[in-house]
Structure 1
Amino acid sequence: MFQEERLRSIIDYLKKAKRISVDEICSLFDVSRDTARRDLVKLEEDKAIIRTRGGAILPSGQHVIKDYSNRLSLVSSEKKRIGKKAASLIMPGDYIILDTSTTVQACAEHLKDIECTVITNSINQADILAKNSQAHIQLLGGEFHKEHRYLYGTSVIEKLSHYHVDKTFIGCVGISEKGLTVAHEEDGMVMQKMMQQADQVILLADHTKIGVTGYFRCATLNDIDLFITDQEIDEEFQELLEKHGVELLIVSQTHDGGR
């Protein structure tokens, strides 16, 4: 079960039981305590729960949960728009790296049949691109993360050091003044190396990730060249991006635009 599915299930459980413990999350979804805690951190960041000692409860007011559930159901269309725009930036002959995020997966889904070389540690990305007749796929080998279907570890990082690519496409849990953050340290360590090996680093993240700081920082804003998102962002954050040399590309629901 992916994290987004698990988060929905946790909210559904809370609506009925009013509270949930870390141990109950571990038992219900067969995950580790660390994974359960990260789920609660994510839900708290999205203001969907209030964390308590050893678990969580619902906040007062059902509109918060309704908004959160609606956002989860809508995020796929947002990711598709972002992914489609990102895929349009891949040129014939490009060497690219794709990370494990679902927004980057949308990029893989929209990649046209053009000759290019794709390096990835994601089983999902490789499976999607297997249907692309022109894409050459280099799947990085390492320890397999069963829950999120990616490969990680020192062997993946060492293998990446031998490559130089035109573009790296990455996602994140949050982007804020503190940089880019992800939910898992092992994923973040691989992402750091992916960024180092590219001429251009392209971040794909919908508007819900802006202003969010997650568990593990994998990059500073200085490490990003282009940020593709789906909605206008506030002036203060735009100025922060400009200060760090990050180009902003906004893909609206009705048209593709940039700034």
Structure 2
Amino acid sequence: MYQEERIQAILEYLKEHQRVSIQDICRLFEVSRDTARRDLLKMDELGVIIRTHGGAVLPTQTKEVKEYKDRLTKESGEKQEIGRFAATLVKNGDFIAMDASTTVQYAAENISAQDIVVVTNSIDNADTLSKKEKVTIHLLGGILDPKHRFLYGSATLSKLADYHVDKLFLGACGITSSGLSFPHEEDGAVKREMIRRAGQVIVLADHTKFEHQMFYKIADLEEVDLLITDKRPSDKMMNELSDHGVQLFIVSEENNDD
């Protein structure tokens, strides 16, 4: 078993038992104490556990992401602003990719450009865009995650390899100095491949995503061209974005200037 697989299994154990010891890890996965310690050290670096004497517990603040429909209805205000601005970046004739993100869905709802081609692994983006004229949709095949409403798997990645798009519109769950991260490896692998297939990477993320580290890293900051958000991040984060060449657009500041 690879370390990534053990880490996921340890997290599942923690959800059920609230705590795990080094002895538990050794017994469950038939590994040495040194290996168990390395697993816990890695999980601590990722921010998904709090290490204790001889083991670990889950952080008080959950790292789980709400179901897609819950996020769409309960976290809409700032995301709608971000989505509306992102939609203005789509020009007639563009070839674009859109991931499975509620903020990106708001962008899809507001697109007015014509003769565009959209590649997506989101069944909701596909449904939204299907109601618009002069939009060609390539819905990637694969395995459907019904809770978070994205398609993933080897078939998804294989089909993505055939495409190159002008712009990628990408949501984010965690943004730190080390890059972009997500809670689900399956979806993260698709996002990572989308980045490889895009001429410009545009990230849509509200202010709550800054300085949050999730389980699966998909990209370094230098792979991001434009970041659209609703509030200015900390000075430290601003410096990190500048150092890595990320252009920042804050929609609330634009509205205040009107």
> Is TM (by shorter chain) over 0.5?
yes
User: 8 Å contact 1:113–1:132 — kept in the other structure?
Assistant: no
TM-score by length of structure 2 reads: 0.71
What letter is aligned with 1:186? E
User: 8 Å contact 2:174–2:209 — kept in the other structure?
Assistant: yes
Aligned residue for 2:165?
165
- The alpha-carbon deviation at position 73 of structure 1 amounts to 7.7
What aligned pairs does 1:151-190 form with structure 2 within 5 A after superposition? 151-190=151-190
User: 8 Å contact 1:225–1:246 — kept in the other structure?
Assistant: yes
What aligned pairs does 1:142-221 form with structure 2 within 5 A after superposition? 142-221=142-221
User: 8 Å contact 1:250–1:256 — kept in the other structure?
Assistant: no
User: 8 Å contact 2:157–2:193 — kept in the other structure?
Assistant: yes
Aligned residue for 1:227?
227
Aligned counterparts of 1:72 and 1:165: Cα–Cα separation in 2: 26
Aligned counterparts of 1:178 and 1:212: Cα–Cα separation in 2: 11
Deviation string, structure 1 residues 197-225 (Cα, Å, up to 9, x no partner) = 11100000000000110111011101100
Residues 171/128 of structure 1: CA separation in 2 closer, same or farther (3 Å cut):
same
Aligned residue for 2:5?
none
> For structure 1, which runs of at least 5 residues remain unmatched after alignment?
1-20, 25-40, 60-70
User: 8 Å contact 1:173–1:182 — kept in the other structure?
Assistant: yes
Aligned residue for 1:3?
none
Instruction: Give me the CA root mean square deviation.
Output: 3.0
Aligned residue for 1:115?
115
What letter is aligned with 2:15? V
1:81 and 2:84 aligned: no
Aligned counterparts of 2:222 and 2:254: Cα–Cα separation in 1: 30
What letter is aligned with 1:198? A
Residues 72/87 of structure 1: CA separation in 2 closer, same or farther (3 Å cut):
closer
SS of residue matched to 1:127? helix
> For structure 2, which runs of at least 5 residues remain unmatched after alignment?
1-13, 18-42, 62-70
SS of residue matched to 2:202? strand
User: 8 Å contact 1:51–1:57 — kept in the other structure?
Assistant: no
What letter is aligned with 1:144? L
Aligned residue for 2:92?
92
- The alpha-carbon deviation at position 23 of structure 1 amounts to 4.4
SS of residue matched to 1:199? strand
SS of residue matched to 1:93? coil
Residues 73/125 of structure 1: CA separation in 2 closer, same or farther (3 Å cut):
closer
Q: Say how many residue pairs are matched.
A: 205
SS of residue matched to 1:163? coil
Aligned counterparts of 2:129 and 2:110: Cα–Cα separation in 1: 10
Picking from 15, 35, 39, the partner of 1:22 is: 15
TM-score by length of structure 1 reads: 0.71
Aligned counterparts of 1:171 and 1:256: Cα–Cα separation in 2: 24
Deviation string, structure 1 residues 165-220 (Cα, Å, up to 9, x no partner) = 10001111110011100010000000011011111000000000001101110111
- The alpha-carbon deviation at position 56 of structure 1 amounts to 7.2
Residues 220/253 of structure 1: CA separation in 2 closer, same or farther (3 Å cut):
same
Aligned counterparts of 1:231 and 1:51: Cα–Cα separation in 2: 32
Identity over the aligned pairs, expressed in percent?
43
Aligned counterparts of 2:75 and 2:230: Cα–Cα separation in 1: 10
Aligned counterparts of 2:235 and 2:94: Cα–Cα separation in 1: 34
